[in-house]
Amino acid sequence: MLAVVKEHEGPGFAIKDVPMPVCREDDVVVKVKSVGFCGTDGPILAGTRVVPWPLIPGHEFAGDIVEVGSKVEGWKVGDRVSACIVIGCGNCKFCIEGNEPLCDNLIETGIHVDGAFAEYVRVPAKVLVKLRDETSYDFGAAVDPVASAYRTVKKMPITSKDTVMIMGPGPIGLYATQLVKLRGAKTIIVLGADCDKERLEMAKKLGATHTINGSQEDVVERVKEITNGEMLDFVQDCAGAVPLADIAMNSIKKTGAYYITGLFHAPVPMNLGKVVRSEIDIFGTICYTREEFKECLDLIQDGRVQVTPLITHHFALKDMQQAFDTFQSRQAIKIMLHPEGC
């Protein structure tokens, strides 16, 4: 089968034929129809994120089951499915409590084991969710970033009086914008930069009441202006950029909260004195549970979260180099790849 393989440290990847995955007793093999290019895939392919190689990346996918393991129940060949990235061990405290993202022995598809930048992918049956007959494969492949945003938004005690700022108008930030709107926030601010002009325009269409270009404006002063000096009830950080942490802390009102969705890859200096004096809460969230994944699939299938406007580019899997270059240039919001061609 054709696959994209990260074979070594440093930049570069191969597009090559590899053996089909072998279906184990608790697994299924899925013929991939659509697979999203995630922000985590770029660093893996570029060689700036360390993974066990050789590795087939890709975890945002949907397709058809073509093989079912001997111990699998409830699934059959031909079922149209998507799947969670999170593979919990099922035995640790967190898995037993239904909080698989915190599993002590967590495995993630496309990061620790082979993923879906291929014609076929093997996954445990327990991570599958079924698509409705009318649901497109692109919609099924979009659930992961929606669920990543959803886990954070779900934790926010948002009321109709609240002001929320979302930092980072990438796919997760744009899905967060829609989810915060669904929660009924009064004011929704999306923060981006010069390179995000099209994304900030998209944010307005998806529910943002205001946008801020941090390359051109003083963010804290602009927040003060928008909120008439009251500042923010909540910040959802979908960027994970170190300089933005200080901006967030200086924009939050007393007793407000800072929710972090984006992964930081460097230490973040923080004024903990302000956290104490202003009684600011800080929360982190990682991935999502299987139940949250199912809930987000329903939001998409019911038309409450829009996916189509965010998918700006389609490529055949064989054209991964072009897709990678497009991702690196920030020309795209969301790239969708198709092993069978576009």
The pLDDT value recorded for residue 92 is: 97
C-alpha 104/C-alpha 92 separation (Å) is 6
Domain 147-284 has CATH 3.90.1150.10: no
**Fold annotation for 2-142+307-338:** Quinone Oxidoreductase; Chain A, domain 1 (3.90.180)
pTM listed for this prediction: 0.95
Preceding omega of 54 cis (within 30 degrees of 0): yes
Q: Where residue 29 falls among pLDDT bands split at 50, 70, 90?
A: very high
C-alpha 219/C-alpha 209 separation (Å) is 15
Question: Among all chains, which residue has been given the structure tokens 């928008």?
Answer: 226
Residue span(s) of the chain under CATH 3.40.50.720 come to 147-284
C-alpha 307/C-alpha 18 separation (Å) is 32
Question: Among all chains, which residue has been given the structure tokens 């933005």?
Answer: 244
C-alpha 272/C-alpha 260 separation (Å) is 16
C-alpha 184/C-alpha 12 separation (Å) is 45
Question: Average pLDDT for residues 108-116, to the nearest whole number?
Answer: 97
The mean pLDDT value of the chain amounts to 96
The pLDDT value recorded for residue 17 is: 97
Residue span(s) of the chain under CATH 3.90.180.10 come to 2-142+307-338
For 322, phi then psi, to 5°, come to: -65, -40
Question: How many CA atoms does the CB half-sphere of 6 hold within 13 Å?
Answer: 29
**Distant-in-sequence, close-in-space partners of 181: CB < 8 Å, separation ≥ 6:** 188, 206, 207
